[in-house]
Each structure stands twice: as structure tokens, then as C-alpha cells.
């Protein structure tokens, strides 16, 4: 075999290797482009929750069913979990806990509702039956049953505001209690929804 035949074979071998690489690159770029487009555009598209259940079963948007009136006590506040469907950029999660509230009835049947998040730093407050008050375990904030700040044993309450109240509506036909659930910024003197 002559040198010219060997160089011709080497030349055609190189050409076919480059052609195979080019075809592979073209075939591989398509799925990569589709994947990048989906990754970038999918979170920007408007999402609708299945069956429009994002309102927790209420006719009013932002209100969530929490309990029936009969489940709410008059002597002590009771903690209830807010359950709703959640949707992030890619995932739909049905019936997830999104927060909690304290509900209590007065003697006239009026229902008060407080957010369980402490306005100071965002820890969860607990109702303590011995002291008849809400207490935050993180920085010793305390609150009266009506949500006002409470000074305990002469210590200064670090919370910048009282417990956050939430709007309550009762469906007279079903006796169900709905709460307009919102999260609020902590560490601020003014009550601002997130």
C-alpha cells in the first residue's frame, strides 16, 4: 500500500469522524434546548389548581375552612391547622398544612382568631392554661387572651406588636368557620401581609 492510499484513508477516516460528531451534536442539542426552554418558562406560566381548591372550600378567595362553630370552646382558645392545596413551580400538593390559628368564642358567640406566629421573630406561640396567656418560647414574648402584649414578672416584652388577628366568617347555613389566612412580616411595628 502506498503512502497516498494511506493518507487518503486517514483523510476519509477523519472526515467521517467529524461528520459523526457533527450529527451527534445536532441530535443532542434538540433535547437540551427543549429542556432549557421548559426549565425557564414553566415557572412563569400561570398555573391553575385542579378543581380550583386553592380557597379551602370557601366561596371567598383567601378564606379557609377551619372548624365548625361547635368545635370552638369558650373557656380556652383552641389551636386549628389551616389546610390547603399548595402549588410551587412544578408540584401540586393536596391538603397540606400551611399554618395554624387560635380560635375562641366569647359568651355572646363572637369568635376571635389569632395567628400562632409570634410577631417578634416568627416562632410559634403556645397557649398556657396555668397563666391564661399565650407565650413564645423563643424570646419570652407573652400575650393576653385578647392578643395584647403582656409584661410578665417585670420583664420587657420584645414583640413589636400584639398577636396578629385574622378575619373570621361563619357560614350560617352550614355552621362552618372560615378564616382569611395570611402570613405577616415579623419584627415590624406595623402589621403587613407577605
Predicted local confidence at residue 92, as pLDDT: 79
Grid coordinates representing 154 are 417585670
Query: Between 87 and 149, where is the model more confident?
Result: 149
Grid cell in block for residue 22: 457533527
More confident position, 179 or 61 = 179
Residue-range domain boundaries for the chain: 3-44, 50-180
For range 79-96, the mean pLDDT: 82
pLDDT of residue 140: 85
Over residues 163-185, the pLDDT tens digits come to 999 999 999 889 999 999 999 99
Model pLDDT, residue 178: 94
Domain 50-180 part of CATH 3.40.50.620 = no
% of the chain at pLDDT higher than 70: 82
Mean pLDDT confidence for 34-42: 71
Q: Is 140 exposed, middle or buried (0-12, 13-18, 19+ CB in 10 A)?
A: middle
Residue found by looking up cell 467521517 in the block: 16
What DSSP character marks residue 54? G
- The model's pTM is 0.67
Tens of pLDDT along 130-153? Answer: 889 999 998 889 999 999 998 877
* Share of the chain residues as helix, strand and coil, in percent rounded to the nearest 5: 25, 30, 45
Amino acid at each position: 500500500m502506498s503512502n497516498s492510499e494511506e493518507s487518503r484513508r486517514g483523510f476519509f477516516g477523519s472526515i467521517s469522524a467529524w461528520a459523526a460528531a457533527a450529527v451527534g451534536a445536532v441530535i443532542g442539542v434538540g433535547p437540551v434546548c427543549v429542556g432549557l426552554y421548559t426549565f425557564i418558562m414553566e415557572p412563569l406560566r400561570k398555573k391553575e389548581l385542579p378543581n380550583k381548591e386553592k380557597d379551602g372550600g370557601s366561596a371567598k378567595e383567601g378564606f379557609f375552612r377551619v372548624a365548625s362553630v361547635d368545635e370552638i370552646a369558650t373557656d380556652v382558645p383552641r389551636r386549628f391547622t389551616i389546610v390547603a392545596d399548595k402549588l410551587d413551580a412544578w408540584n401540586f400538593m393536596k391538603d397540606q398544612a400551611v399554618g395554624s390559628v387560635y380560635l375562641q368564642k366569647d359568651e355572646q358567640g363572637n369568635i376571635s382568631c389569632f395567628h400562632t406566629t409570634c410577631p417578634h421573630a416568627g416562632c410559634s406561640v403556645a397557649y398556657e392554661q396555668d397563666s391564661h396567656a399565650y407565650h413564645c418560647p423563643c424570646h419570652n414574648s407573652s400575650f393576653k387572651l385578647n392578643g395584647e402584649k403582656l409584661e410578665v414578672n417585670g420583664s420587657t416584652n420584645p414583640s413589636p406588636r400584639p398577636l396578629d388577628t385574622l378575619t373570621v366568617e361563619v357560614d350560617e347555613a352550614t355552621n362552618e368557620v372560615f378564616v382569611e389566612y395570611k402570613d405577616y412580616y415579623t419584627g415590624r411595628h406595623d402589621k403587613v401581609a407577605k
